[in-house]
Amino acid sequence: MLKISLFENIADVFDSVSNKFSNVFNSLKSKGKLTEDDIKKSIRKIKMILLEADVNYKVVKEFIAVVSEKALGSEILNGLTPGQQIIKIIRDELINILGNAPARLTFANKIPTCYMLVGLQGAGKTTVAGKLALYLKKQNKKVLLIACDVYRPAAIKQLKILGSSISVEVFSIDNSNSPVEIAKSGLDYALKNNFSIVIIDTAGRLNIDQALMQELKDIKSIVHPHEVLLVLDAMIGQEVVNIAQSFNEQLGIDGVIMSKLDSDTRGGAMISVRYITQKPIKFIGVGEKLNDLEQFYPDRIASRILGMGDVLSVIEKAQESISSDDIDKISKKIKKNDVDLSDFLSLQRRIKKLGSITGLLKKLMPGLASKMDLSGANPEAEMKKIEAIILSMTPYERSNPGIINASRKRRISKGCGHSVADINVLLKRFEEMKKLMKMFAGKKNFFNM
């Protein structure tokens, strides 16, 4: 078993279900020729995987019917083995269920564009409001958050803290018991102050009731939101289908945001909601940080559920964290074989911005990641150790690690609080990284890639 101490031991989104799919697919690919019985056995296994993943039974039944018909009656495409053909059919049908093309936020013809967030208490609306505000702010939009949850203790304070952390203004009215009044006044304020985006954080209840729905209807009739977005907690399983249907029938929704998907390793709730409501999923929440909101791409999500990886999402995340100037600078240094420990530290800091190392690995190479023994791993501590060691060096030592002798190592050890052995490991890793970079630098189109 491969053991890598650098990777974090946490459950990735869809981890459990993707591992099961990988096992079925590996079995299919290992056979040069598939009999009808082989196909039926594989489809039965897939049916059980989906049911165990909390996918609604009606959805599973229709999905399996379509896959069975296509798998048993299809001709093998050029360049594909029979096993690959079945896998392609399953992936294509899952993408179809999830909505084919990504459904993006739409904007009104005149400002402000108003988004109204609705959902039950505990679904994560307030946090999603902050995440959505940050997402839109990055697109150079002037965003106003309106705090209309006057019932949950500290809800308004929570939204103000979130807004302050991303420098987004929050509108609220103290001592007001009327969310409708707050919403109307907030929209008027946005018009007067040229906000391009308004996000309304509404109140929820533990259960759907008439009072909740009437309040939301009243707010909707006053502010005429461009989109009503339903925030659903992925952790509550199949119950999200009933919640989504009820909100859609009574209020009318334009899209769904699935929150807490980082805590749901199955993903079945998302599949069920999209298929049964026929309302697009626009975003998924994949972590607690405010930048942990991802655009929903049906093809990428299907690949992640099926254990095939998601390279494009990793690339987009990297583009947010690393500028083209940074890439040009390090590329020139790699070509000259002139990378030093300051560059090493800079790269590490940028990698940390991309999120969990384990999560990145599972997006890129899910098959390999599932075979790794990640128990006891603590990458944050490992990275802090590396940073402490490098910062305890002089600038000259960072630029010329070859001069770091025994006496220098003892001094660095005292300065950072880590052993000489830890320093030796770091220097060895750094030299190995330089050799690897030098090898890849000679490859054609490496830097374009």
Distance of CA 274 to the CA centre of its chain: 18
Please write the tens of the pLDDT for every residue from 259-268. 887 665 556 7
3-state secondary structure of 141: coil
Portions of the chain given CATH number 3.40.50.300: 113-296
Q: What is the DSSP string of 330-349?
A: HHHHHHTT---HHHHHHHHH
Most confident range, picked from 60-74, 98-112, 305-319:
98-112
Q: What is the pLDDT of residue 288?
A: 83
| Pick from 19, 40, 42: nearest CA to 30 | 42
Q: What is the pLDDT of residue 79?
A: 47
Distance of CA 101 to the CA centre of its chain: 18
Q: What is the pLDDT of residue 22?
A: 80
Residue 436 predicted with pLDDT over 80: no
Q: What is the pLDDT of residue 6?
A: 29
pLDDT tier, 80 (very low <50, low <70, confident <90, very high otherwise): low
CA distances from 310 to 29, 33, 99, 232, 287 (A): 20, 29, 17, 23, 17
Q: How far apart are CA 265 and CA 355, in angstroms?
A: 17
Distance of CA 78 to the CA centre of its chain: 34
With a threshold of 0.75, does the pTM exceed it? no
Q: What is the pLDDT of residue 171?
A: 95
pLDDT tier, 316 (very low <50, low <70, confident <90, very high otherwise): low
Q: How far apart are CA 156 and CA 146, in angstroms?
A: 9
31: left (phi over 0), alpha (psi -120 to 50) or beta: beta
Give 374-382 contacts, CB < 8 A, sequence gap 24+: 374/4, 374/7, 374/8, 374/9, 375/9, 376/5, 376/9, 377/4, 377/5, 377/6, 377/7, 377/8, 377/9, 378/5, 378/8, 379/5, 379/6, 379/7, 379/8, 380/8, 382/5, 382/6
Portions of the chain given CATH number 1.20.120.140: 12-98
Please write the tens of the pLDDT for every residue from 131-167. 999 999 999 999 999 999 998 878 999 999 999 999 9
Q: What is the pLDDT of residue 313?
A: 55
Topology adopted by domain 12-98: Four Helix Bundle (Hemerythrin (Met), subunit A) (1.20.120)
Q: What is the pLDDT of residue 115?
A: 97
Residue 442 predicted with pLDDT over 90: no
Mark 417-443 as b/e (b = at least 16 C-beta within 10 Å): ebeeebbeebbeebeeebeebeeeeee
Q: Which two tokens stand for residue 382?
A: 């490992």
More confident residue, 19 or 313: 19
Lowest-confidence range among 85-89, 170-174, 250-254? 85-89
Amino acid at 20: K
Is the link from the previous residue into 366 a cis peptide, with omega within 30 of 0?
no
Question: 113-296: what CATH class?
Answer: alpha beta
pLDDT tier, 14 (very low <50, low <70, confident <90, very high otherwise): low
Q: Provide mean pLDDT across the span 261-283.
A: 81
3-state secondary structure of 145: strand
Helix (H) or strand (E) holding 311: helix 311-321
Q: Provide mean pLDDT across the span 338-347.
A: 83
Residue 78 predicted with pLDDT over 60: no
Q: Which CATH architecture has domain 322-441?
A: Orthogonal Bundle (1.10)
Q: Which two tokens stand for residue 135?
A: 């997402």
> What residues have CB less than 8 Å from 442, skipping those under 6 apart?
none
Q: What is the pLDDT of residue 449?
A: 43
Q: What is the pLDDT of residue 177?
A: 74
Give 41-50 contacts, CB < 8 A, sequence gap 24+: 42/86, 43/67, 43/68, 43/71, 45/20, 46/21, 46/90, 49/17, 49/20, 49/21, 49/24, 50/268, 50/271
Residue 4 predicted with pLDDT over 50: no
Q: How far apart are CA 258 and CA 293, in angstroms?
A: 10
Mean pLDDT of the residues in the chain: 81
Portions of the chain given CATH number 1.10.260.30: 322-441
Mark 241-250 as b/e (b = at least 16 C-beta within 10 Å): bebbeebbee
